[in-house]
Chain A
Amino acid sequence: MTASICLKATAVDIKKSDRYLVKNVSMDVYSGELIGLIGPNGAGKSTLLGALAGIDEPTAGSIELSDTPIRNIPLQERATRIGWLEQLGTVHWPVSVERLVMLGRIPHLPAWGKVSEADHTAVEHALTVADCLSIRHQIVTTLSGGERSRVLLARALAAEPMLLFADEPVSALDLGHQLQTMQLLRDFATGDRAAVVVLHDLSLAARYCDKLYLMNAGEIAAHGEIASVLSNSNLEKVYGVSVISGCEQVPWIVPLERL
């Protein structure tokens, strides 16, 4: 299979008041790929994701979506191609789950136009795959944190993006829904679609992702194949912990102690 590059980031710097939050980061996202972005707190993962999704302008470097600089793509067109799932996303009005997921269709609605059959189908599909059917009539602000993060994922999926950036989508989820969400992202990133997902659970990252980018202090400490990125020496250097790992049925990584 010859996968094509859908997003190309080259030498991206993001500076805030003279401090580098992200420094010299390059990343190629090929279609069909699920890329895991890992690293300790404050490594710059979310900041990088915001720039890759075109929401924030990097201080230097270029980010291109199918050879077009991402900030040159008209806002609404960009929104139909790129989805971004905020970390700890909030919902400000007590709307129902269904209506919230329908908001995901906003980039597709023509000005002054009405919701179409295709919009309903997309919402229905998103509710189904994100396991939100049973709570579709509930009010979002009354849901638990985990349920809410599933609903917000459904919102992002309802937009039917080509490229999805998800910032810690599984952090608030129970074990069953962690697997369900990771499988969902795995299934999403096929064909000409791709996804970049920020994760803290290295076992899930190793099990589901095609490639990993390990960030430390704003820079890419390692990237590429799972095994080479998750080497003991890399993890010791970046996280400051020793780990034990193995692979029985699925790969697993458990932190042992702080160094």
Chain B
Amino acid sequence: MSHQRRLLMLVALVLILSLISLCLGQNWIDLRQVLTLPFTDPDSTTAVIVREIRLPRTLIAIVAGMSLGLSGAAMQGLLQNPLASPGLVGSASGAALGAVTALYFFSGAWHPQTVPLAGMLGALVTTALVYLMAGRDATVSTLILAGVAVNALAAAGLSLLLNLAPSPFAVRELVLWTLGDLSDRSLNDLWVMLPCSLAGWALLAGTGRSLDALTLGVRTANSMGINTYWISWRIFIAVSLCVGAAVATTGMIGFIGLVVPHLLRPLAQQQPGKLLPLSALGGAAMLLSADIGVRLIDLYTTLPVPLKVGVLTALVGAPFFLLLILKSRSNYLR
């Protein structure tokens, strides 16, 4: 099967999952109604539910999922390591810290988008911090070390806020936010996350060939005409932007950036460049599925509080990842 064919099939999968995501909720809405009512009867309750609740949720799942899948594939390609994840760049923790700070001090009372905007700001600040720490001529490992350091700093900040939270309810609210959730999002949240996501995708779009060359290691890639400093920075900033945007809007959704590239790598014939678009679509499909999953669980079980989507991806993702590693470790032992 050709690469184009595989891409088309993943696009179809994302479309089907999006439609299911639009139909599914407290009440199942017929597919025909979902597709026609917003145009024929835009003021009906059903149309409003589809437009104001389910559409943003679905679109945000697609954008965040694409960012996570794409970033995971780019990071793994850049580091030539199947265990790398987008979280390494530090902007995810920065985004979480920014958002939680806003939640702590303003409780989202100022403006409905205070929290995601603060998250975006946190992501940008951490990215700048990493840039300043690593310096212009940073190697990949310096970048990652700086990312890990900033990560630790942001985690410390988060702990501080939790520690100082005035009441158990506040703690609960803060912790729940970080778990990763797609419910109760509006189209305005989508507009907040979209610019940085698009910028990140655009920066990553042209890196496929360089990532392919990096299969042979940094120095050989350099001898093949790849500016490895520039490509490291480019990927680093791109991942910071789009993962920061995703986390600022949805909270921490783990394992998608780790599992999706790993799962789809055989479809890309192990080539990091080809993996990028596949992994973007795969990420969208996986986050949509997980979000459909939590809604189904919510419908058919009597959990006291709804399950967060980030919890589901971690619960499914972690053991699955372990299995993949066990299955393919012989390939990486050499």
A residues near B, CB below 8 A? 50, 53-55, 75-80, 82-84, 86, 89-96, 99-100, 103-104, 106-107, 109, 111-112, 139, 141-142, 152, 155, 159
CB under 8 Å from chain A, chain B span 163-182 = none
A91: contacting residue among B81, B215, B265, CB under 8 A: B215
Shortest CB distance A19–B (Å): 20
Is the beta-carbon distance between A107 and B224 smaller than 8 angstroms? yes
Closest to A152 in B: B216
Contacts of A82 in B (CB 8 A): 223
Closest to B80 in A: A92
Given contacts A83-B223, A89-B220, 16 further A-B contacts (CB under 8 A): A53-B223, A54-B223, A55-B219, A55-B223, A75-B227, A79-B224, A80-B225, A86-B217, A90-B217, A92-B80, A93-B271, A99-B271, A107-B224, A107-B225, A141-B332, A159-B224
Q: Give the distance in Å from the alpha carbon of A100 to the alpha carbon of B215 in the complex.
A: 8
Is the beta-carbon distance between A84 and B331 smaller than 8 angstroms? no
Interface 0/1 of B205-227, CB less than 8 Å to A: 01001001111110110111111
Is the beta-carbon distance between B212 and A103 smaller than 8 angstroms? yes
B270 contacts the other chain (Cβ, under 8 Å)? yes
B327 contacts the other chain (Cβ, under 8 Å)? no
Given contacts A95-B270, A106-B209, A109-B209, A89 and B223 within 8 Å (CB-CB) = no
Contacts of B222 in A (CB 8 A): 55, 75
Can you list 18 pairs linking A and B with CB atoms under 8 Å apart? A55-B223, A75-B225, A75-B226, A79-B223, A79-B225, A84-B223, A86-B216, A89-B220, A92-B216, A95-B215, A95-B270, A96-B269, A100-B215, A106-B224, A106-B225, A109-B209, A141-B332, A142-B331
Q: Give the distance in Å from the alpha carbon of A79 to the alpha carbon of B210 in the complex.
A: 13
Given contacts A92-B80, A93-B272, A95-B270, A86 and B224 within 8 Å (CB-CB) = no
B220: contacting residue among A84, A93, A94, A142, CB under 8 A: A84
Is the beta-carbon distance between A95 and B223 smaller than 8 angstroms? no
Tell me which of B215, B223, B226, B265 has the highest count of chain A C-beta atoms within 10 A of its own C-beta: B223
Closest to A83 in B: B223
A89: contacting residue among B80, B209, B216, B270, CB under 8 A: B216
Contacts of A155 in B (CB 8 A): 216
Contacts of B223 in A (CB 8 A): 53-55, 79, 82-84, 86
Q: Give the distance in Å from the alpha carbon of A84 to the alpha carbon of B215 in the complex.
A: 15
Closest to A90 in B: B217
Count of residues in B whose CB is under 8 Å from the partner chain: 26
Interface 0/1 of B222-251, CB less than 8 Å to A: 111111000000000000000000000000
Q: Give the distance in Å from the alpha carbon of A139 to the alpha carbon of B219 in the complex.
A: 22
Return the 7 tightest CB-CB contacts between A and B, nearest first: A79-B225, A92-B80, A84-B223, A76-B225, A107-B225, A93-B270, A94-B331
Is the beta-carbon distance between A95 and B225 smaller than 8 angstroms? no
Closest to A53 in B: B223
Shortest CB distance B270–A (Å): 4
Shortest CB distance A91–B (Å): 6
B334 contacts the other chain (Cβ, under 8 Å)? yes
Given contacts A92-B214, A109-B209, A141-B334, A99 and B269 within 8 Å (CB-CB) = yes
In terms of DSSP, what is the predominant structure of the interface of chain A?
mixed
Is the beta-carbon distance between B217 and A78 smaller than 8 angstroms? no
Is the beta-carbon distance between A103 and B215 smaller than 8 angstroms? yes
Q: Give the distance in Å from the alpha carbon of A86 to the alpha carbon of B226 in the complex.
A: 15
Shortest CB distance A251–B (Å): 32
Contacts of A83 in B (CB 8 A): 223
Is the beta-carbon distance between A95 and B271 smaller than 8 angstroms? yes
Is the beta-carbon distance between B224 and A93 smaller than 8 angstroms? no
Closest to B220 in A: A86
Q: Give the distance in Å from the alpha carbon of A84 to the alpha carbon of B206 in the complex.
A: 24
Is the beta-carbon distance between A92 and B219 smaller than 8 angstroms? no
Contacts of A54 in B (CB 8 A): 223
Closest to B275 in A: A93
Closest to B334 in A: A141
Q: Give the distance in Å from the alpha carbon of A79 to the alpha carbon of B270 in the complex.
A: 24
Shortest CB distance B28–A (Å): 43
Contacts of B220 in A (CB 8 A): 84, 86, 89
Contacts of A90 in B (CB 8 A): 216-217
Shortest CB distance B167–A (Å): 50
Is the beta-carbon distance between A89 and B227 smaller than 8 angstroms? no
Q: Give the distance in Å from the alpha carbon of A75 to the alpha carbon of B332 in the complex.
A: 31
Closest to A77 in B: B225
Contacts of A78 in B (CB 8 A): 225
Q: Give the distance in Å from the alpha carbon of A54 to the alpha carbon of B226 in the complex.
A: 12
Contacts of B206 in A (CB 8 A): 111-112
Interface 0/1 of B246-288, CB less than 8 Å to A: 0000000000000000000100011110000000000000000
Is the beta-carbon distance between B215 and A106 smaller than 8 angstroms? no
Closest to B79 in A: A92
Shortest CB distance A208–B (Å): 23
Is the beta-carbon distance between B334 and A93 smaller than 8 angstroms? no
Q: Give the distance in Å from the alpha carbon of A29 to the alpha carbon of B57 in the complex.
A: 64
Contacts of B213 in A (CB 8 A): 103, 106
Q: Give the distance in Å from the alpha carbon of A26 to the alpha carbon of B227 in the complex.
A: 27
Contacts of A79 in B (CB 8 A): 223-225
Is the beta-carbon distance between B212 and A106 smaller than 8 angstroms? yes
Q: Give the distance in Å from the alpha carbon of A92 to the alpha carbon of B219 in the complex.
A: 13
Contacts of B272 in A (CB 8 A): 93
Given contacts A99-B271, A141-B334, A89 and B225 within 8 Å (CB-CB) = no
Is the beta-carbon distance between A103 and B224 smaller than 8 angstroms? yes
